[in-house]
Chains A and B, each alone.
Chain A
Amino acid sequence: MDIFKLDNTYDFVSKIPTAVKFSVLLIVISLGSVIYHGGPNWGVEFTGGTEVQVNFPQGPEVKFIRDSLETQGYQAEAVQQFGLASDHEYLISFSPKVVSFDQIQDFKEKLNEVITTTPEFADAQIQRIDYIGPKIGKELVQKAILSILLACVGILIYLVFRFEFGFAVGAVIALFHDTIITVGAISLMDKEFTLAIVAALLTVIGYSVNDTIVIFDRIRENMAKSLQKSFPNIVNEGVSQTLSRTILTGVTVFIVLIPLFFLGGAVIHDFAFTLIVGVLIGTYSSIFVASAFVVYWRKRKEAEKVM
């Protein structure tokens, strides 16, 4: 089965100016959204929150506990069984957006009220209620960002060694482009920035680089083969020849992501959302950012040679 006619060469290079405008627009929207929302909407792993340890002698179901709290306007972040199942004891945590540090006393009273008015909660005891610090501290976030930047330098060095300088820069620019726009999409949808999202973003970085290199590799192969052709033509050919692979790989990844997105439950849903955006942008940027930059870089280099 073929998706595209093999000998067709599509003219991508002529679309570059439009693509640049489109990318700039997306980046402006992304950064604008992040700034408008006052930075990422950090998840409870990064902010800490309030944790309650409660014993329910009547043994209500976890779902019932969750729902009862939610009808009171307290959406629990997690309800975790504590000790043995027969202890009927739970750790219930709340994001600071639900119960802030100053509201803990009020919250405790409110909680006691809920316990006394709900028959299923009879004799329930609040063992402990306190503010808990973040699981992931500032140092860890700083270290993570630093290690990602280091990874970018690593990619740059490897690609300079394997390809040419312009290719390496193009791939790294595409990588930043994809990361910024994906973060922007998360911010626009006002999704929480959790650890799962961080994992998804790292996967997007991997995908973006991978996709770019497959195209670069073909461009390099064609450069060696057809010296008399103009560079934009070589790029058009390279991108066209790998187009069916680009699309097919994108499709298989989507085949996995769609069920994760629709069936996966809350945590997996956001993870899949991030990847869907990331993979779309990553595929687009391999052609219209990374390869486009190489065309621009070549043109400048040739202009310098003429002078």
Chain B
Amino acid sequence: MRKVSRGWVLTIVLVSLMSLIFLAPTFAGDNLPSWWSKVFPSKGIRLGLDLKGGIFLMLGVQVDDSVEQELNSISEIIKSDLTKSRALVKSSDINGSTLTLNFYSKDDLDKALTAANDNFSNVASINASDLSLRIQLNSAYIGELKKNALTQVKQVIENRVTAFGLVEPSIQTTGNDRILIQVPGASQQDRERIVDLIKKAAVLEFKIVNAAGITEDVILQGQGVTSKEELASKNLEIHPGETGNQNENFFLTEDVAKVTGESISDARISFDNFGRPAVLFRFKGDGATNFGELTGENIGQRLAIVLDGNVKSAPVVNDKITYEGTITGTFTPEEAKDLALVLRSGALPVPVAVEQERSVGPSLGQDSIDKGRLSMIVGGILVIFFMAYFYRLQGIVADIALLLNMLFIMGFLSAFGVTLTLPGIAGLVLTLGMAVDGNIIIFERIKEELANGKSPLAAIEAGYSRSLWTILDANITTLLTALILFWFGTGPIKGFAATLSIGIVSTVFSNVIVARLVTNYFYRDKNVTTVSI
């Protein structure tokens, strides 16, 4: 490395340029020319809720639906129990928190009563009279159901927003049936995407197609009925079609899906034979078996892939399929990506509605932000002066490396879309304080080598090369910590780990490569007699 290596100089120039490009939107904001966003990234550094605010969404969660769902599943369990003991339910009815099952015979009722008492006596009060069985859920259990529904919705939304990137949202439950979501920064476009992502119920169903038609009436006529209610009694249902085919605006399918998105283990974006974006999904466990049965029994029929009530595509089943399938349709790449994301993170257990959508200001007051900024500027400047004072010319080398380091770190943070909060930035300033550690290790080593009688250039050479592994060992260990925190941590921990990892990599590069090149440049004359250190 005695000669200034051209390759490294080129690398530094390139990385600096890239950093500047990534940072331009942060500093120039809306003043960038309009062609910029077509050629270069237009997102700058994302500032957190504490510094910049963002959007605020208040979601109403229909937790009451969880009660009906629970009663439905209780009804299913009892019915399947009764099928085993050859008993029959005449009709069932759900009203509020009560499930009523009616029977043809006293014998059947008794069997049902036993089944209900065996399974649900701890969560509901159970009465039998006049050939009907009434199961009323306890209020404590209802409270628990609703609370669970709220927590589950929060979990699903958290998964979805987190998977969207390092956005560091704030998601909180409030009261008994609301969720408050704040997402930092978000441009108008991001905002719409995030709202869609959150609202999407993502209920995926697979149903065999009975018929398709331009209007609902055509389909009703085809079945010889006049209303949807009549269809329901034949266990059939109409879904609007979104397949892009004008002749198939509506589909007639069975009403209950045998396979749903619940048994999906993975989903990601792929492309169909025509290069159009699609979503590839895989089944797990029972889902694979059930899907295999469904497709195996219906070869030659059409299978509707129904998302949130709309038929996305209805391919003909050519073969028995067990493990994976594709949803094609009219997607943009973003839509396909987001759909894969919501399928992965699971369906919302109960529906939600956006009750309020507003922008919010920073959660920290402007005075706190100003104070924080001042303290960091003072700290940064002091370090720069300290190094120059203490190490003279080598101190200046360290300062140049430090400034470039800062540029690289900010550029990478911008490129990776890391959200910066006030403590995050303070941490970065501290990284700079620690970044000079590498320089100090090298400079102290150079001093030692000089004291041992080495010539200036030999001392510099030895200082840099002998310190290399010290610096690497120390930083690789910390980087390892940061990467483990990144992989296994969630939310703010992940954001912190990303910032730390970027800081470490950039710092080592600055200490080992940048500082070395600058030093070489300063001492390019072979007849150096003293080292200014």
Contact = CB atoms under 8 A, between A and B. Distances in A.
Given A82-B361, A210-B477, A259 B422 contact: no
Interface in B348-377: 358-368, 371-372, 374-376
Contact of B480 (A146, A151, A171, A248): A151
A48 interface: yes
B464 to A, nearest CB: 15
10 contacts: A1-B391, A151-B481, A158-B476, A203-B430, A209-B481, A214-B470, A218-B470, A260-B426, A264-B375, A267-B423
Given A147-B485, A252-B383, A256-B380, A217 B363 contact: no
Contacts of A209: 474, 477-478, 481
Contact of A80 (B175, B363, B430): B363
A271 B496 CA distance: 14
A268 B422 contact: yes
A294 to B, nearest CB: 15
Interface residues of B, number: 78
Nearest to A4: B444
Nearest to A216: B473
A283 to B, nearest CB: 12
A207 B434 contact: yes
Given A144-B489, A158-B480, A263 B422 contact: no
Interface string A68-97: 000000000011111111000001000000
B436 A210 contact: no
Interface in A193-246: 195-196, 198-200, 202-203, 205-207, 209-210, 213-214, 216-218, 221, 241-242, 244-245
Interface residues on A, range: 35 or more
B424 interface: yes
A272 interface: yes
Contacts of B374: 259, 263
Interface in A171-197: 171, 195-196
A60 interface: no
In the A-B complex, the 4 residue pairs with the smallest Cβ-Cβ separation, listed nearest first, are A81-B361, A265-B371, A147-B488, A256-B433
A264 B481 CA distance: 28
A216 B477 CA distance: 13
A155 interface: yes
Given A158-B476, A256-B380, A264-B426, A241 B448 contact: yes
Interface stretch (A11-19, A25-33, A116-124, A128-136): A128-136
B371 A140 contact: no
B478 A132 contact: no
Interface string A138-176: 001001101110110011001100100000000100000
A159 B386 CA distance: 33
Contacts of B485: 147-148, 151, 202
Contacts of A106: none
Of B447, B477, B491, most A-chain CB atoms within 10 Å:
B477
Contact of A200 (B50, B362, B423, B475): B423
B474 A214 contact: yes
Contacts of B433: 252-253, 255-257
Interface in B489-507: 489-493, 496, 500
A151 B484 contact: yes
A117 B496 CA distance: 45
Contacts of B491: 136, 140
B233 to A, nearest CB: 44
Of B367, B429, B478, B490, most A-chain CB atoms within 10 Å:
B478
Contacts of A143: 488-490, 493
A188 to B, nearest CB: 21
A256 B430 contact: yes
B427 interface: yes
A2 B491 CA distance: 45
B387 interface: yes
A100 to B, nearest CB: 16
B427 A213 contact: no
Contacts of B475: 210
B382 A267 contact: no
Contacts of A199: 423-424, 427, 492, 496
A58 interface: no
Interface string B375-417: 1101110110011001100000000000000000000000000
Contacts of B426: 196, 260, 264, 268, 271-272
A142 to B, nearest CB: 10
A218 B441 CA distance: 11
B496 to A, nearest CB: 5
Nearest to B371: A265
Nearest to B533: A1
A122 B430 CA distance: 46
A252 B447 contact: no
Given A255-B382, A256-B382, A82 B375 contact: no
Contacts of A263: 371, 374-375, 378
A24 interface: no
A167 B426 CA distance: 31
Given A143-B488, A155-B480, A268-B422, A1 B360 contact: no
A1 B386 CA distance: 12
A214 B365 CA distance: 41
Given A249-B434, A265-B367, A275-B430, A214 B441 contact: yes
B39 interface: no
A257 B444 contact: no
Given A80-B360, A155-B481, 8 more contacts: A79-B365, A80-B362, A210-B474, A213-B474, A255-B386, A266-B368, A267-B422, A272-B426
A155 B479 CA distance: 10
Given A206-B481, A241-B448, A265-B372, A131 B492 contact: no
A6 interface: yes
Nearest to A217: B470
B440 interface: yes
Contacts of A158: 476-477, 480
B291 interface: no
A112 to B, nearest CB: 19
B373 to A, nearest CB: 9
Contacts of B360: 80-83, 91
Contact of B173 (A63, A132, A148, A244): A132
Interface string B56-71: 1000000000000000
